[in-house]
A and B are shown apart, each in its own frame.
Chain A
Amino acid sequence: MIGRPLLNLVFVLAATIGAWYLLVTQTGINQLTTRLPQDVVKYLFSGPDAGANRSTVFSALGITVRDAGIGFVAGLTAATLLATAMVLFKGVEAASMPMVMILRTVPLVALAPVITLLFGNGFWCVAVMSGIVVLFPALINISFGLRSVTPQMRDVVTVYGGTPWDVMRRVAYPTALPSIFAAIRISVPGAVTGALIAEYFTSSNSVGKEVNESLALYQFDLLWSLIAVITITSVLGYMLAQLAETYVLSRYGNTPDRA
C-alpha cells in the first residue's frame, strides 16, 4: 500500500533533480546566479556555516509550513461548506459563483492590497490569501463529487423518510470521498503557493520573506536552498495526502481515484 507513493516520491525527486541539472547546465545561464543540488547540500549540511544556514532555512520553512497549513485548512473548509450549501440550496451557487470567479480571475497579487487593508498583516491575511488559492479547485472538485450521487441512491434515502441533509450525510459525502481527496491533493501545493504570496505582505521570517531578502543581498546559496526545501516539502505534502487517500478509500471499499 505504501509502495506506490514511495515509488512516486523517488521518481518525482529524481525528475526534479534531473530537470534542475539540465536547466542549469544546458541552457547557458550564467553560473554566477545558479546553484546545483550539491551546492545546496554543501550549504545546508557540509559547509563551514552549515548549522547556522540550516537554522535560517528550516525556521523559515517551519513558518511557511504553518502558513500553508492555515491556508489549506481555511480553503478546504470554505470549499466544503460552500459546496455543501451549493448542492443543498440551488440559489447559493448562483449567488456565490460570481464572487468565487472574481477571487479566481483577479490575480492574487492585485487583490493583495485590498486583503491586507481588510485583514491586516497577520494570521487572517495568510488564511485569506492562501485560502483563496486553495478554494476554487477544491470547490469545483468537491461539488462535483457531492453531485455524483445516483438518483437511485437518493430515492432509497428519501423512501425511508430521509431529508436532503440525510442524503448529503449518508450518501453524498462518502460518494464524494475520491473527489474530496483529489481536492486535498491539489490543495497542498496550492496552499504553499498561497502562503508564499501572502508572506510577501506579512512580517515573519518565512520562506517568502527570506527569498526576497536573499535576492536583495545576492545570497544565491540561501535562495536556492529555500527553493529546494520548499519544493521538497510540497512534494512530501502531496505524497502524504496520497497516502491518506489510499488508506481511507480502501477502508470505504473504493478504488483510489487516479485522475
Chain B
Amino acid sequence: MSISFRRGSRRGARIAAVAALAAAGLLLAACGSSGSGGSGGTGSKSSGFGSIAVQLSWIKNSEFAGEFEADSKGYYKDAGFSSVNLLTGPVAQEEIVATGKAQFGMSNAVSTAASIVNSKFPLKIIGTTYQKNPFTILSLSDKGNIKTPQDLIGKTIGVQDSNLSLFKALLAANGIKESQVKIVPNGFDISPLEDKKIDGLVAYVTNEAILVKDHGFSTVNLPFADNGLPFVAESIMTTDDMIKNHEDEVEAFLQAEIKGWKAACADVNGGAKLAVDVYGKDIDPKLELDKEIQQAKEQCSSLVGSPDTTANGLFTISPALIADNIKSLKTAGIDITADQLFDMAPLTALYAAHPELK
C-alpha cells in the first residue's frame, strides 16, 4: 500500500537518520559522504568536458524523462560529456552540488533560495524543467474535498516536516491562520489519505495525485502554483564557479537537456518506458508503466511547457515568472533578490547562438 514514502522537498530518508543523530549529538558532520565524487568537469576545451554527475531530486521515475532521453539518445555525449552520472534523489541536492559532488542538480526555487539565504550556498538557478511547481493539497472528493484555500479551514492536513514551511506559506498567501488548520505529521505515505484518517495531504500533482486516482478514488487538487505560490520546480542549479569559469560547459549541459526534454515530450511513452525498463528498473516497489506514462503526459502538458517556453524555448524563466518566484519566496519567509537566485545568462546565450533549439 505505501508506495511513495520517499520525498521531502524532499529528503525524508535523510531526515529520519538525522532525527536519531541529533540525539547522538555532534556526529552529524559525519553524515556527508567522503570523497570528491563525480570527477569534475574541468575541461575548458570546446569539446570534452569529461564525466559529470547530476543530482536528481527524486527516484528515477518519469519525472526525469528528459534526462533519460538525453543520456540514451547520446545528447550528453554530443554536447561533449564523456559520461553523465544521474544520481538518485531525494537528498539535500543543494548540498551535493554546492560541495562539488555533482556539477548540476535539480531542485525547486524554495529549497535553493533557502540554501542561499540561510547558509550562503554559492548556487544559482540557470533554468527550469517545470514552469510551475507541482505541489498540491490532495484530497478525496467524498472526504476533505478541498477545492479552494478557504476549504482548508477546520481540516486535518498531513504535512511532511520538510514541507512544513511551504505549507505555512500557502496558508499565509491565502490569509489563513495556522490555528484554523490542524497539521498532522505525515510522510509521503498516501494510505492515511486513502483510509480517510486525514482530509488532505501535501503531494505532487504528477505523482501521488495520479497514484491515488489509480487506486479508484475521486481526487481533488489544490495546486500551490495556482493559489499564491507560483515558484518553479525541477529547476536546474549549478555553482557560481561553474557559471563564471565554465560557462561553455554549462551551456553544453543545457543544450543536451533541452534536446532531451524535447524528445521526452514528443514521445511521452518513450520517456516513461526508459524510466520503467532502464533507469528506474531497480526501484522497489517497481514502477508501473501506466502511471509513469500518465505522469510523463501530465508534466509535459501542464508543467514543462507554457506560452513562455513556446516563444522562448524550454527551461526559460521569464522576467515575469522570476518576479512571481521572488514574491512567492517572500511569502514563504525567504528574502532574496532575483540576481541572488537566478542567472539566465547561459541559457540566453545558448538560445542566441542556437535559435534552432527553440
Number of residues in A with C-beta < 8 Å to the partner? 45
Provide the bound-state CA to CA distance between A209 and B165, in Å: 12
Residues of A within 8 A of B32 (CB): 29-30, 33
Whether B161 and A209, one on each chain, are in contact in the complex, defined by CB atoms closer than 8 angstroms, is: yes
Is A101 located at the chain interface by the 8 A CB criterion? no
- Cα separation A51 to B51 with both chains bound (whole Å): 47
> Which residues 200-236 of A sit at the B interface, judged by CB distance below 8 A?
200-203, 207-209, 211-213, 215-221, 223-224, 226-228, 230-231, 234
The reply to whether the CB of A32 lies closer than 8 angstroms to some CB of chain B is yes
B8 interface residue per 8 A CB criterion: yes
Q: Contact at B119–A219, with CB atoms within 8 Å?
A: yes
- Knowing A196-B19, A216-B163, A218-B118, the reply to whether A23 touches B184 (Cβ < 8 A) is no
The 0/1 profile, CB within 8 Å of B marked 1, for residues 236-255 of chain A is 00000000000000000000
B26 touches A216 (CB 8 A): no
Among A16, A29, A197, A224, the residue within 8 A (CB) of B19 is: A197
Interface size class on chain B is: 35 or more
- Is A3 on the interface with B (CB-CB < 8 A)? no
Find out whether the CB atom of B19 lies under 8 angstroms from the CB atom of A32: no
Residues from chain B with Cβ under 8 Å of A211 in the complex: 18-19, 22
Which of chain B's residues has its CB closest to A212's CB? B161
Q: For A30, A201, A226, which residue has the most chain B Cβ atoms within 10 angstroms? A: A30
Q: Does B30 contact A (CB under 8 A)?
A: yes
A48 at the interface (CB under 8 A from B): no
B-chain residues with CB within 8 Å of residue A231 when the two chains form the complex: 25-26
Please determine whether A20 and B19 come into contact, CB atoms closer than 8 angstroms: no
Q: Which of A192, A207, A211 gathers the greatest number of chain B CB atoms within 10 Å?
A: A211
What CA separation (Å) do A213 and B34 show in the bound complex?
A: 25
Q: Is the CB of A55 closer than 8 A to any CB of chain B?
A: no
DSSP majority for the B interface? helix
- Docked pose: A203 CA to B22 CA in angstroms: 18
Contact B30 A16 (CB under 8 A): no
* Cβ-based interface call for B11 (8 A): yes
User: Quick check: A208 and B19 within 8 Å, CB to CB?
Assistant: yes
Q: Is A100's beta carbon under 8 Å from chain B?
A: no
Query: CB-CB < 8 A to B299: which residues of A?
Result: none
Does A203 contact B121, Cβ atoms closer than 8 Å?
no
Interface residues of B in 17-72 (CB under 8 A from A): 18-20, 22-30, 32, 34
A151 within 8 A of B: no
How far, in angstroms, from A193 to B20 measured CA to CA in the complex?
7
- B118→A203 contact, CB < 8 A: no
A235, closest chain B residue (CB): B25
Say whether A34 faces chain B, with CB atoms less than 8 Å apart. yes
What per-residue 1/0 map shows which CB atoms of A16-53 lie under 8 Å from chain B? 10011001100111101110000000000000000000
Whether B118 lies near A219 (C-beta < 8 A) is yes
* A218-B119 CB under 8 A given contacts A121-B185, A197-B20, A200-B185: yes
Given contacts A24-B29, A34-B29, A200-B185, contact A230 B165 (CB under 8 A): no
Q: Is the CB of B164 within 8 A of A216?
A: yes
- Provide the residues of chain B in CB contact with A34, threshold 8 Å: 29
Question: Is residue B320 within 8 Å, beta carbon to beta carbon, of the partner chain?
Answer: no
B19 touches A212 (CB 8 A): yes
- Quick check: which of B94-102, B141-149, B338-346, B350-358 contacts chain A, the rest being far away? B94-102
Is A109 located at the chain interface by the 8 A CB criterion? yes
Task: Offer 6 A-B interface pairs, CB within 8 angstroms, sorted by A.
Answer: A33-B99, A121-B184, A192-B23, A216-B15, A228-B26, A231-B26
Q: Which residues of A contact B (CB under 8 A)?
A: 16, 19-20, 23-24, 27-30, 32-34, 109, 121, 189, 192-193, 196-197, 199-203, 207-209, 211-213, 215-221, 223-224, 226-228, 230-231, 234
The 4 closest A-B pairs by CB, nearest first: A212-B161, A216-B162, A193-B23, A218-B115
